[in-house]
Amino acid sequence: MSGADPHFTHFDSTGAAHMVDIGAKEVTHRVARAAGSIRMTPETLAAIRAGTAHKGDVLGVARIAAIQAAKRTSELIPLAHPLPLTRIAVEFQLGGDALSIEVVAETLGRTGVEMEALTAVAVGLLTVYDMCKSADRGMRIEGVRLVEKSGGKSGRFEQA
């Protein structure tokens, strides 16, 4: 490569992967909100809602899994920085043929918390799948995405 592309900051001028140096960046309040869903049969959704799923409290376990995933993101995503998270909030909605999850991650730091929010959503949904797969192997995880973020030099982003 002739020079580093400013949009792909995890690569140096030779194309080698590296962890971005954030030492000179300003500490700011950073927030990211991510969401996703898992489609399933009405019977599976009803069992989750009623708390009668075979493996127990699906939402309670998925909430803890999402929080734990956010805390361990830097262990899972090779070039992510370990962050001092100040808040992780996990909310579920059940309706139609899907369970939706939304995660808000916050920190006071030099880099954003998008990866923590996204990782939490993905692991929360995978946990729902794991806990309900014996009843419904056809579940589909869909739409994992960053909804919005704020803080830092790049400012605010909101999904249209």
Tens of pLDDT, residues 35-48 = 999 999 999 999 99
Number of H helices, E strands in the chain: 4, 5
Average pLDDT over residues 52-73: 95
**Given 12, 97, 130, 136, the catalytic residue:** 130
Higher pLDDT, 32 or 8: 32
| Region for 88 from its dihedrals, namely left if φ exceeds 0, alpha if ψ lies in -120 to 50, beta otherwise | beta
Q: Is residue 130's pLDDT more than 50?
A: yes
Is 97 among the residues known to form the active site? Answer: no
**What span, in angstroms and rounded, lies between the C-alpha atoms of 70 and 114?**
10
- Whether pLDDT at 50 is above 60: yes
- The pLDDT of 152-156, averaged and rounded, is 84
Tell me what percent of the residues of the chain surpass a pLDDT of 90: 69
pLDDT in tens, 68-84: 999 999 999 988 999 99
Q: How confident is the model at residue 23 (pLDDT cuts 50, 70, 90)?
A: low
pLDDT confidence of 1, banded at 50, 70, 90? very low
Partners of 140 in the β-ladder: 39
What pTM was computed for the model?
0.88
Using one digit for the tens of pLDDT, what is the confidence trace for 131-151? 999 999 999 999 999 999 999
